[in-house]
Structure 1
Amino acid sequence: MLGRLDQQRNFFDEILFNHMLPADHPLLDIDRAVDFSFVEEETADLYSADQGRPSYPPEQLVRILFLAVWANLSDVQVCQQLRYNVLYRYFCRLGWEDAIPDDTTLVRFRQRLGEERWQRLLQRLVEQARAKGCLKGRWLVMDSSPVVAHAAARTRVQLLREGRQRLVQAVRQAAPPVAKELEALAEPVPDATYEDQDQLLQAEQERTEALLAAITSRQAAKAPAVRRVRKQVERVLKDERVASYADPEARWGHQRQKKPFFGYKMHLATDETGFVLAATVTAGNASDLEGAPALVEQARVQGLRPRRLVADKAYDATRLREDLVRQGIRPYIPQRTQRQRLPKQGFTYDKRRRQWICPEGHRSIGQSPHQRGGWLVYFSERACRGCPRAGRCLSRSQTRKVLYWHPGTEANRPRGLKRALRVRTVIERTFGEAKQWHGLGRSRYRGRERTAIQVLLTCLVLNAKKMARRLQDARGSGHGKRRAMEWAAA
């Protein structure tokens, strides 16, 4: 049954909180600025209206999870703090005699809500901030940042060896005599037997396939645990880029060319002040462009109508620009290094002959379609070989100049890119705050959905902090006095 918060405190709690709470504290500013009553509205369908024992109030549980992220505490630590920390008990609406939820309750509640419902809670907070005048919403700023997985990555050889051990262990629980017959196939192949890593990998694959074939003919193969482990091992054999059995959804990605990471990517969209409007999480090997349409759609669902979008060169795609223009959004996205404006490099286009002309006057001799759209334009090897600019124009592996050209490359590129990129710095500060103060540099959990819930919870905390600061600034300044009075009366 749905439990509800008792908004009336007893006489003893009032005296205790009045004497023990600090006069000024950021958590108290958040408590005054944010109305968490929308939590009960969004979670009421998860509970029976009149059957069963009353649950912990959903708003109270969300406040506890919020507090854990705000103070960068684990579920166990925040439950321990609630036993004696008066400030934390006040924020979480816990009287001195009220029972404290244990960490298992928090884990189950967080998973029960799921990613979609946490998305809705973030949207409700954005709506509240908009109603209180904390949003501008003229710009949409997008970017992504890595979240390191809560698991160690393994090589394929290590995964095959570990997978066989897991398979035999699962068989041992279902049929111990069968596992004893298969123990030899679970042993690793001796490294010294093979000259290179490729041969060793091939031998490990053959031994793993032999173990799978041996298990198939046994009755133990029907056990649920055996089937589950077998699917994981088969994914490794198929080379689906699995790098960990502990977190099979995590993938290797690159923050920069020479800086790989193992985990996930969080994609955020903020307004020009850094207020998080939308968030999504993908595997680490996903491109930034994969998360862009979902972020724009989430912003539009909330009724926001940004007129400009700014992002870095990872979002340089003609299709994305065209989609944004159709939605009435002006894109400010710099070009990738390999897609620099050809006129700036000295190349000109002859529309009548449909040829590109290089700075030395040589014309292109042909073009072929590119898999991502556009064309690859080729120049003559003979002309490039004797060109005085060959040393600067060609790479070491090139024998002739090859250009990438898309007819829409120069379209949808408004002026003011430098100013727009200065606006984009707000999202970098948002990422920095989330990682430095709220532990978002590394996932607390395993799996993409659980990591996404952590990201959404952190975004709730970031937005609540910004709301409290802005409303406090509005109350303290003459310019925002009217808005502050309206907020106080609400």
Structure 2
Amino acid sequence: MLGPKQEAQGALFYEFSIEDHVPQDHLLRSIDRFVDLTEIRAYLAEFYSHTGRPSVDPELLIRMLLVGYCFGIRSERRLCEEVHLNLAYRWFCRLDLSDRVPDHSTFSKNRHGRFRDSELLRHLFETTVARCITEGLVSGQRMAVDASLIEADANKQKSTPKEDWDASAINATDAPRAVREYLDTLDEAAFGAASEVQPKFTSHSDPASQWTAARKGPAFFSYSDNYLIDTDHGVILDVEPTRSIRQAEVGSTKTMLTRVKDKFGLVPDWMIADTAYGSGPMLGWLVDRKIDPYIPVIDKAGRPDGTWTRTDFDWDAENDQYICPEGHALKQFRRNYSDPNRGPTGKG
């Protein structure tokens, strides 16, 4: 039998519990058991004024950011809308049905101001790593390092070729925030000072980003998020952002290893990485610190012009000479000079 038509009817009173409407197997329930943000207010106390209107609870902002990271919500405006509508998000953020969700502009003010000045996000990260160490999830003996590309929100159509780019001509007073930040990082090893090579294009809106084709496809503006990982349980011990160039990524490894040693007293027995980290200076730096590198060495013996490389020659130990692929001996002198001044110099 066809039932009655469903129509919305307002009620004077509701008995409603968000707790009862969040499934027990929901991802946020699993995360909530391990989230401890009780120290945030004390950590940020000196960054708030003693007068004025009461601020938005910083723990609420961090919980909302965690929701965004876990569910891939990159827009702060959309994050606020989703938390407003989703009961599970409200439950995780400790918001009741009648509680107002902060405006999206609050995130921008705090992320680029109070959170950055206090290094709150790094404090939370290192607190989590310390907890993993306490729980026995980190041995600190076996580590790996790698970088992930993060595409920058920059358009190639609004960029300048390297031959036309002049950073000294930028007026820092009138420049956008991203450009001012770029000027501030020109001397940092992870960004401007990582390499003297200028990128093919420089973005107007985000000049600190790197023009790269590292994915073997169409080039784009990006950053690199570098990870130092304890391989026992896959725990990330440290992170460091850089431009997407090899010199900066390799340099970040030294920064991260030094930081985990100073912060947690961890020095690995060996390190795993791909060929990009196999340069002589990097391998020497690891060996000097008694860290065994399990890293392929960068081989530059190959020649792009098709000529023979040193590996193509065979060593003839009996006659103390090399033999070329065509069977001829590689001689030090082609002929004996009657005039010694015409022969090779003492340096060969």
Q: TM-score, normalised by structure 1?
A: 0.50
Distance 1:389 1:42, change over 3 A: farther
Q: Which has the higher contact order (CA 8 A, sep 6+)?
A: 1
In the TM superposition, residue 15 of structure 1 has moved relative to its aligned partner by: 5.7
Aligned residue for 2:59? 59
Aligned residue for 1:290? 251
Aligned residue for 1:151? 154
AA partner of residue 82 (structure 1): V
Distance 1:86 1:127, change over 3 A: same
| Pairing partner for 1:309 from 266, 271, 284 | 271
In the TM superposition, residue 69 of structure 1 has moved relative to its aligned partner by: 1.4
In the TM superposition, residue 268 of structure 1 has moved relative to its aligned partner by: 0.8
| Distance in structure 1 (CA, Å) of the matches to 2:30 and 2:217 | 42
| Distance in structure 2 (CA, Å) of the matches to 1:106 and 1:301 | 31
AA partner of residue 29 (structure 2): L
CA-atom RMSD, angstroms? 4.3
| Distance in structure 2 (CA, Å) of the matches to 1:317 and 1:258 | 25
In the TM superposition, residue 297 of structure 1 has moved relative to its aligned partner by: 1.6
Distance 1:280 1:224, change over 3 A: closer
Three-state SS of the structure 2 residue aligned to 1:289 is helix
1:325-404 matches, within 5 Å, as 325-338=287-300, 358-361=313-316, 384=324, 386-387=326-327
What percentage of residue pairs aligned between the two structures are identical?
Answer: 26
Three-state SS of the structure 1 residue aligned to 2:154 is coil
| Distance in structure 2 (CA, Å) of the matches to 1:14 and 1:57 | 27
AA partner of residue 211 (structure 2): W
Aligned residue for 2:238? 278
Native 8 Å contact 2:238 2:260 kept in 1: yes
Native 8 Å contact 1:308 1:329 kept in 2: yes
AA partner of residue 276 (structure 1): I
Distance 1:360 1:311, change over 3 A: same
Native 8 Å contact 1:56 1:101 kept in 2: yes
Aligned residue for 1:75? 76
Higher helix share: 1
| Pairing partner for 2:116 from 114, 117, 134 | 114
| Distance in structure 1 (CA, Å) of the matches to 2:217 and 2:237 | 31
| Distance in structure 2 (CA, Å) of the matches to 1:16 and 1:147 | 40
In the TM superposition, residue 143 of structure 1 has moved relative to its aligned partner by: 0.7
Three-state SS of the structure 2 residue aligned to 1:302 is helix
Judge which range, 284-293 or 264-273, deviates more: 284-293
Aligned residue for 2:90? 89
Three-state SS of the structure 1 residue aligned to 2:36 is coil
Three-state SS of the structure 2 residue aligned to 1:297 is helix
2:96 paired with 1:134: no
Distance 1:56 1:67, change over 3 A: same
Three-state SS of the structure 2 residue aligned to 1:43 is helix
| Distance in structure 2 (CA, Å) of the matches to 1:227 and 1:59 | 30
2:44 paired with 1:19: no
AA partner of residue 85 (structure 1): N
| Distance in structure 2 (CA, Å) of the matches to 1:277 and 1:243 | 32
| Distance in structure 1 (CA, Å) of the matches to 2:124 and 2:14 | 29
In the TM superposition, residue 77 of structure 1 has moved relative to its aligned partner by: 1.6
AA partner of residue 52 (structure 1): G
AA partner of residue 118 (structure 1): L
Distance 1:318 1:60, change over 3 A: same
Native 8 Å contact 1:135 1:271 kept in 2: yes
| Pairing partner for 2:280 from 308, 314, 318 | 318
Three-state SS of the structure 1 residue aligned to 2:120 is helix
| Distance in structure 1 (CA, Å) of the matches to 2:130 and 2:267 | 13
In the TM superposition, residue 103 of structure 1 has moved relative to its aligned partner by: 0.6
| Distance in structure 2 (CA, Å) of the matches to 1:13 and 1:322 | 69
Aligned residue for 2:207? 248
| Distance in structure 2 (CA, Å) of the matches to 1:134 and 1:362 | 53
Q: Deviations over 1:342-370 (max 9, x none)?
A: xxxxx89xxxxxxxx9425289x9xxxxx
Distance 1:226 1:310, change over 3 A: closer
| Distance in structure 2 (CA, Å) of the matches to 1:326 and 1:13 | 69
AA partner of residue 250 (structure 2): L
Three-state SS of the structure 2 residue aligned to 1:56 is coil
Native 8 Å contact 1:252 1:285 kept in 2: no
1:227-266 matches, within 5 Å, as 240-241=198-199, 242-255=201-214, 260-266=219-225
Three-state SS of the structure 2 residue aligned to 1:34 is coil
Q: Deviations over 1:233-286 (max 9, x none)?
A: xx9xxx953522121111223426677442111111111122111111111234
Native 8 Å contact 2:212 2:222 kept in 1: yes
Three-state SS of the structure 1 residue aligned to 2:17 is helix
AA partner of residue 243 (structure 1): T
Q: Could you tell me which runs of 5 or more consecutive residues in structure 2 were left unpaired when the two chains were aligned.
A: 1-12, 187-196, 303-309, 331-348
Q: TM-score, normalised by structure 2?
A: 0.69
Native 8 Å contact 1:13 1:96 kept in 2: no
Distance 1:124 1:259, change over 3 A: same
When the two structures are aligned, how many residues end up with a matched partner? Answer: 288
| Distance in structure 1 (CA, Å) of the matches to 2:293 and 2:172 | 54
Q: Could you tell me which runs of 5 or more consecutive residues in structure 1 were left unpaired when the two chains were aligned.
A: 1-11, 161-200, 210-215, 341-346, 349-356, 366-378, 391-490
2:228 paired with 1:269: yes
| Distance in structure 2 (CA, Å) of the matches to 1:260 and 1:37 | 44
Native 8 Å contact 1:146 1:261 kept in 2: no
